Structure 1
Amino acid sequence: MSELGELDRPETPDSPGVWDEHSQKWLMGAAETDVRDTETTQTPSQTTTPATRAGRRGTADPVKALMHRHRELCERAVDPLEIAAGLEAHGVTDRTAARFRHRDVFSLAEEMYARVSKDAETAPQSTPPPAPGVRADWVLLSMLPGALCAATITGLHLTGGRVRPAVATLGALAVALAVRAALGRGPLSARSHPAPPGTYPRRPSAATRLWTYWLLAYALLGNDLLTVALTDGPHGVPAAVRDLSPAPALALTLACVPAAWCAHLFAAGARRKLAASRGLADFTAAVKPLLLGAVALFLCLSTVLVALCATVLHEPAAYTTTVTLGALLLLARLLTKHGPTHAPAVVLGAAAAAEAATLATAFASHAPGCAFLAAPLDAVVAAGGPAGIPAAACGGAALLLLLHATRSLTRASAHATPGEPG
């Protein structure tokens, strides 16, 4: 008896194990063997009949083997689309489905769902997971970074002398802890449970955190440091640090609120579309406008916050630098929560490297015989100011992540498994 045939013998079900590349090849090989065996017993004029379909579910039935592999997924699924999303998350494509005699993944999922329904007609019906709701904890936590940053800026304006550095240090530490708390709960949090085998990890890597810290630090100090580096060199760094502009930091911390709400609206809308869609293509077409709308809404709200902070603090409004960085961080967080974490790390690293290379080149231009290094930077600064460099770096990185997100975040598998209560 073949290995697939042995799966039909009555026995206690065991763990389906980890879905890996070997399992994929095994199932593909099983499907090809079944296709060849059936083709040798049929003539070209024969058509698929109920008897043929019943025979296909016999001892050489690759679909049954696939159901055995994904037994838990099939048992808890409330509709075929949930099975299709799970298969998609494990790397099953339309080409793989064709080996099981189905035109696409959704058609294969429909057969698997129908078989489970017939085998468990008396089982209690499951209810689909509810869309994430609004909770007071993450709403308040998203407001905390902006409130603490505003308090720190107020303390800096009211103090002076040796007390001022202590206020700045304690305030920066408090804001950092508040941001960490805001990212730990609610729609911006990474998933707390492990990802299914063969799918993406849901935790940001250490590299992602490092690049994020650099980008935030550059938003606070970078433009002043670049100006000083091109004019005075390393000797002007203390003055740049002392006279830093807090408006971008305040705008970015306040932007945690619209970021959380936009992420919540996107996740809730995607969950509703997942329950209403009748196929993977339908779901993708319905979710893409939700993603673009959430990003556009965040851009509008963050622009308003930048203008408000600049007006209150009587400073120039750094629209391009702050808004593009906010969009970049939002997209990176959405991908970390719902999709692969490798792309955000790479793109954030590229943007941070561009900014670091700019500062290094500006300072290196003061070395003997290296004045020519400052020529391209002088041209860029003369054309768009020192904010043009981080705006180009973060804007280009955000555009790349948006293009990537329109593919990875519009897949049903990105929203199939519920995360933390939202």
Structure 2
Amino acid sequence: MSGLGELDRPGTPSGAWAWDERSEEWLTAEPEDPGTTKTEGHPAGTARRTAAADPVKALMHRHRDLCERAVDPLEIAAGLEAHGVTDRTAARFRHRDVFSLAEEMYARVPCDGETPTPPTPHSAPRPRADWALLTLLPGAVCTATVIGLHLTHGQARLTVAAAGALTTVLSLRAALARGPLSTGTRTHTTGTSTWTYWLIAYALLGDGLLRAALTGGPDTLPDGSVNAPWSLVTAPVLALTWACAPAAWSAHLLTARARCKLTASRGLEDFAASARPLLLGTFALFLCALTALLSLCATALNEQPPYAQTTTLGALLFLARLLTTHGFTHAPAVILTATATTQATALATVFAARLPGCDNLSTPVQTLTDIWGPTSIQTLTCGFGALTLLIHATRRLTRASAHAPAEKPC
């Protein structure tokens, strides 16, 4: 490869790099006219001629850490894209796309004084039994809790509900700690678990509480009679816990297929064009699985399946987790927080309207529920959040850098 000898020229320690302040000049310098002669005492002119003769070397100087830790050209290509290098930028370095530029950079990296070995394509991560079984645990625990609630009464029922809620949360954490839905060492969660649990709790009892609050409850009815505790809708929560399994398999499918397309692609635009339908297809596959699970759970519990509320909530949580596992944590944190805050505000305004002089506070929620019913609050908030994350995901998860191999358990 051209320029490889310059890195290992005599006088340079084996595997050492001549990193200095001139690398920035080499990268930003404009090529000179081939007829320009060297002027003594002008090192900048020498730097410009070096950049014109070997622009790739200057780029390697700027991205030293990326080149040294890369295990193959795909990792360098993903890193360059993350730093804003596009196929058009690669043309400045005499390459048709970022992938071919990354291949030359990888080939020219000295590896302890030895010639780098030819890269091997990334193999798709294989499913493992540990995370596959863990994804079934939340559904099994939630099912046992629901059965216990139907078999107990009074104080025993409260005990079962509290123990079931705690074990379900722990099983969810265990399922998300391994496999395709795990953040691993790539990124860290941003404290959105509280909002996630709020959204799930609202799916369980939020619509019933809102309906009771709008009719004068939850303690009394408009006619003055005592109101029974508002009903719990358990089918959505049961379906969502069982949906951890299809969510993990959908994320695994997306990762595996994206790695294959990343290996076969010859340009960032080509990869984005092939990854976009893959992402949308994976998302649709998860929604179909969630809808089927909801139908089965509602039938088993003899409840009316709330398709709109559950599918929008499931879509929101799935996209938020998918973005988080690929390193994009800001948007999911903002959207989950905004969605949960909106739902809490809707409930708070209804109760606050009972205070003297605050009757108008509940007007927006009252108007909305009069038109579409109490379930519209959850449907609209989760639907808007899911749509926002879907648009964001089609921009972020179709980038090669989003699918760069990460050191995390699969």
TM-score (norm 2): 0.84
Q: Partner of 1:268: helix, strand, or coil?
A: helix
Residue of structure 2 in register with 1:30 after alignment: 26
2:126 is aligned with 1:130: no
1:15–1:123 Cα change, 3 Å:
closer
Letter in 2 for 1:386: P
The one-character-per-residue Cα deviations of 1:311-338 (angstroms, maximum 9, x if unpaired) are: 1111121111111111110000110011
CA distance in 2, matches of 1:121, 1:393: 57
Runs of 4+ in 1 over 6 A off after TM superposition: 5-8, 14-17, 52-55, 117-121, 237-240
1:28–1:332 Cα change, 3 Å:
farther
Q: Partner of 2:241: helix, strand, or coil?
A: helix
Matched ranges for 1:110-189 at <5 A: 110-116=103-109, 123-189=116-182
CA distance in 2, matches of 1:368, 1:26: 72
2:58 to 62, 73, 88: 62
Matched ranges for 1:34-113 at <5 A: 35=30, 41=36, 56-57=53-54, 61-66=57-62, 68-73=64-69, 76-77=71-72, 79=73, 81-93=74-86, 97=90, 100=93, 105-113=98-106
Q: Partner of 2:219: helix, strand, or coil?
A: helix
2:190 is aligned with 1:205: yes
The one-character-per-residue Cα deviations of 1:56-82 (angstroms, maximum 9, x if unpaired) are: 239x951342464433245x21x4x44
Q: CA deviation at 1:352?
A: 0.9
2:212 is aligned with 1:228: yes
The one-character-per-residue Cα deviations of 1:121-154 (angstroms, maximum 9, x if unpaired) are: 8544443332111211111111111111110111
Q: Are the counterparts in 2 of residues 16 and 71 from structure 1 also a CA contact under 8 Å?
A: no
1:54–1:156 Cα change, 3 Å:
closer
The one-character-per-residue Cα deviations of 1:350-376 (angstroms, maximum 9, x if unpaired) are: 111110110111111111122222232
CA distance in 1, matches of 2:34, 2:346: 65
Q: Partner of 1:63: helix, strand, or coil?
A: helix
2:260 is aligned with 1:263: no
CA distance in 2, matches of 1:36, 1:89: 26
Letter in 2 for 1:11: P
1:16–1:248 Cα change, 3 Å:
farther
CA distance in 1, matches of 2:67, 2:28: 22
Q: Are the counterparts in 1 of residues 212 and 230 from structure 2 also a CA contact under 8 Å?
A: no
CA distance in 1, matches of 2:372, 2:202: 17
Q: CA deviation at 1:257?
A: 1.3
Structure 1's unaligned 5+ residue stretches are: 18-22, 43-51, 196-201
Residue of structure 1 in register with 2:304 after alignment: 316
Letter in 2 for 1:285: A
Q: Are the counterparts in 1 of residues 352 and 361 from structure 2 also a CA contact under 8 Å?
A: yes
Q: Are the counterparts in 2 of residues 32 and 99 from structure 1 also a CA contact under 8 Å?
A: no
Q: Are the counterparts in 2 of residues 230 and 362 from structure 1 also a CA contact under 8 Å?
A: yes
Residue of structure 2 in register with 1:10 after alignment: 12
Structure 2's unaligned 5+ residue stretches are: 1-5, 38-48
CA distance in 2, matches of 1:294, 1:236: 46
1:343–1:55 Cα change, 3 Å:
closer
Q: CA deviation at 1:260?
A: 1.0
TM-score (norm 1): 0.82
1:274 to 244, 262, 266: 262
Letter in 2 for 1:392: L
Residue of structure 2 in register with 1:300 after alignment: 288
Q: Are the counterparts in 2 of residues 131 and 271 from structure 1 also a CA contact under 8 Å?
A: yes
Q: Are the counterparts in 2 of residues 16 and 69 from structure 1 also a CA contact under 8 Å?
A: no
Q: CA deviation at 1:305?
A: 1.3
1:13–1:160 Cα change, 3 Å:
same
1:14–1:357 Cα change, 3 Å:
farther
Letter in 2 for 1:288: R
Q: Are the counterparts in 1 of residues 326 and 402 from structure 2 also a CA contact under 8 Å?
A: yes
2:232 is aligned with 1:244: yes
Moved more, 236-245 or 162-171: 236-245
Q: CA deviation at 1:213?
A: 1.5
1:406–1:220 Cα change, 3 Å:
same
Moved more, 6-15 or 287-296: 6-15
Q: Partner of 1:70: helix, strand, or coil?
A: helix
1:73–1:136 Cα change, 3 Å:
same
Q: CA deviation at 1:166?
A: 0.5
CA distance in 2, matches of 1:348, 1:116: 43
CA distance in 2, matches of 1:38, 1:55: 9
CA distance in 1, matches of 2:210, 2:35: 74
1:415–1:215 Cα change, 3 Å:
same
2:343 is aligned with 1:350: no
Q: CA deviation at 1:240?
A: 7.1
The one-character-per-residue Cα deviations of 1:269-322 (angstroms, maximum 9, x if unpaired) are: 111111111121111111111110011011111111111111111112111111
Letter in 2 for 1:203: H
Letter in 2 for 1:41: T
1:261–1:170 Cα change, 3 Å:
same
Q: Partner of 2:136: helix, strand, or coil?
A: helix
CA distance in 1, matches of 2:229, 2:104: 65
- The two structures, once aligned, show a CA RMSD in angstroms of 3.4
